[in-house]
Structure 1
Amino acid sequence: MRSGHARTATNRAEIKAVCLDVDDTLVDFTRAARSALFALIGRDDMWPAWQRATDEFVARCVSGELDSTTMRELRTKAFFAEQLGIQLDDHTVTALEARRLTRMCAAWRLFPDVVPCLDWLRAAGLRIAAVTNASGGPQQHAKLADMGITRYFDAVLIAGELGAAKPDPRIFHAACQRLHVQPHQTVHIGDRLDLDAVGARDAGLHGVWLNRDTTDQHPTPPPDIHQIADLEDLPELLVWHYATVPTPRR
């Protein structure tokens, strides 16, 4: 386990629920999305620019300005124009985006630590929510179903449906309400230190940063943010740090 917490029961908060981010926490989203973009443009160096464009247009979708389909097509059109100098007509954009989306969805895979962790959380009697900043509700529900993990979740919170995205406290509080728990009884885990772990902490939950990056080039989390290297470490963190987590049923 990465040195993100002490092996002592220092916090006696009664944990009743766990929230998990979806993309790059449960599902290897970046690998699938990056390969789909490469198939579309034949270049891998444009990924950071694609991410920036995606963040901009997803924010417009979450705010209610755009629906998810329009958002994706406008994002792709703007990306080609601004980054590649190519002006695409609407018909071509629709075809390209459909091709990219199909390839990306076909490449989604769960990380190997996901199902064992979800099994443990369910056996421990904890309530579980998926909390994602994704813009499209139907696509996210389909993703969870295709990955075979819908059954684990007592609630699914999608930014595009709720109109609020992490680190906005509203999405964390909505998750707690749907799980019928208080924020201080809830742990949230995600791959983004800022949006997931710090955002959850600032909303009154316990934030845990899932840092799957094996390099040393990553920020140092604040002292009140726990860090784990994979979801195999989560049960140990919950048992040792949050001492009142129930023992899983056998």
Structure 2
Amino acid sequence: MIKAVLFDLDGTLLDRDESVKKFIDCQYNRLNTVVGHIPREIYIKRFIELDQRGYVWKDRVYQQLTKEFEIDGISWEELLQDYITEFKNHCVPFPNLITTLEKLQSLNLRLGIITNGRGQFQLDNIKALGIEDYFDTILISEWEGIKKPDPEIFKTALKQLEVPPHQSIFVGDHPENDVKAAQQVGMKGIWKKDIQWDQVEADFIITELAEIPLILK
């Protein structure tokens, strides 16, 4: 019997691709006096390329942007701070996020998040989605000192939830960091489909969050 469902954040609950597009478009508008010499489409496209879907921290991204585009009216540090401050205002949830969490709560399941990333930044994004209070535990790699796929971060979350691995499910979009890592500690792994991968081995595969309660039934 399943007693807990744990989630990844980016690409699972937060539609990070759409959030990034919204943010960088708005950043271009807000800082147009210093980046306006760069065509909008090129600025956005290059940021997304350098970002590598969040796997490159933005200090490196903005250092490269300022160098490539000869941005001299603002420092890369100021651009980074703008990202840290403003990104949370552009967070886009995946469809059925709140209704799915409410349904899982109604089934008396314990809920958790395990996400890699910067502590306050990720927590701000969770709060921006309006979902913080649905979760019994939230683990963010910077604050834990370990990150997925390290099994210890999964074990820590399960210990806090007081649920054994075999009674737990982990939902994520990354085949290795989420699905395989969770399975290796004894959890069931649900892969939320992502166009970056195919033929992923998982206990279940979903395209929508709303499918999770149906799987549990």
**TM > 0.5 fold call:** yes
- Once residues 88 and 163 of structure 1 are traced to their aligned partners in structure 2, the CA distance between those partners, rounded to angstroms, is 36
Return the match for 2:141 from 156, 159, 164.
159
Q: Does 1:28 align with 2:15?
A: yes
CA contact (8 A) 1:23 1:132 kept: yes
Q: Does 1:226 align with 2:213?
A: no
Alignment-mate amino acid for residue 198 of structure 2 = P
TM-score, scaled relative to structure 2: 0.82
Give the corresponding residue for 1:15. 2
Alignment-mate amino acid for residue 32 of structure 1 = S
Q: Percent identity?
A: 28
Give the corresponding residue for 1:244. none
CA contact (8 A) 1:77 1:87 kept: no
CA contact (8 A) 1:50 1:79 kept: no
Q: Does 1:195 align with 2:177?
A: yes
Provide the aligned C-alpha RMSD in A. Answer: 2.5
Secondary structure of the residue that 1:45 maps to in structure 2? helix
- Once residues 75 and 4 of structure 2 are traced to their aligned partners in structure 1, the CA distance between those partners, rounded to angstroms, is 45
- Once residues 203 and 76 of structure 1 are traced to their aligned partners in structure 2, the CA distance between those partners, rounded to angstroms, is 37
Give the corresponding residue for 1:51. 52
The 1:34–1:203 alpha-carbon spacing in structure 2 relative to 1, beyond 3 Å, is: farther
- Once residues 107 and 153 of structure 1 are traced to their aligned partners in structure 2, the CA distance between those partners, rounded to angstroms, is 22
CA contact (8 A) 1:73 1:93 kept: yes
Return the match for 1:73 from 38, 59, 72.
59
Q: Does 1:173 align with 2:174?
A: no
- Once residues 130 and 162 of structure 1 are traced to their aligned partners in structure 2, the CA distance between those partners, rounded to angstroms, is 13
Secondary structure of the residue that 1:130 maps to in structure 2? strand
Residues 223-248 of structure 1 deviation map (CA, whole Å, 9 limit, x = unaligned)? x4310011111111111xxxxxxxxx
CA contact (8 A) 1:36 1:103 kept: yes
Return the match for 2:79 from 96, 99, 123.
96
Cα distance, 1:142 vs structure 2:
2.4
CA contact (8 A) 1:77 1:88 kept: no
TM-score, scaled relative to structure 1: 0.72
Alignment-mate amino acid for residue 76 of structure 1 = Y
Tell me: higher relative CO, structure 1 or 2? Use CA pairs within 8 A at least 6 residues apart: 1
Cα distance, 1:149 vs structure 2:
1.2
Cα distance, 1:110 vs structure 2:
1.9
Number of residues paired by the alignment?
203
- Once residues 88 and 164 of structure 1 are traced to their aligned partners in structure 2, the CA distance between those partners, rounded to angstroms, is 37
Cα distance, 1:122 vs structure 2:
0.5
Q: Which runs of 4+ in 1 moved over 6 A?
A: none
- Once residues 49 and 146 of structure 1 are traced to their aligned partners in structure 2, the CA distance between those partners, rounded to angstroms, is 25
Which segments of 5 or more consecutive residues in structure 1 lack a partner in the other structure?
1-13, 58-71, 240-250
The 1:73–1:221 alpha-carbon spacing in structure 2 relative to 1, beyond 3 Å, is: closer
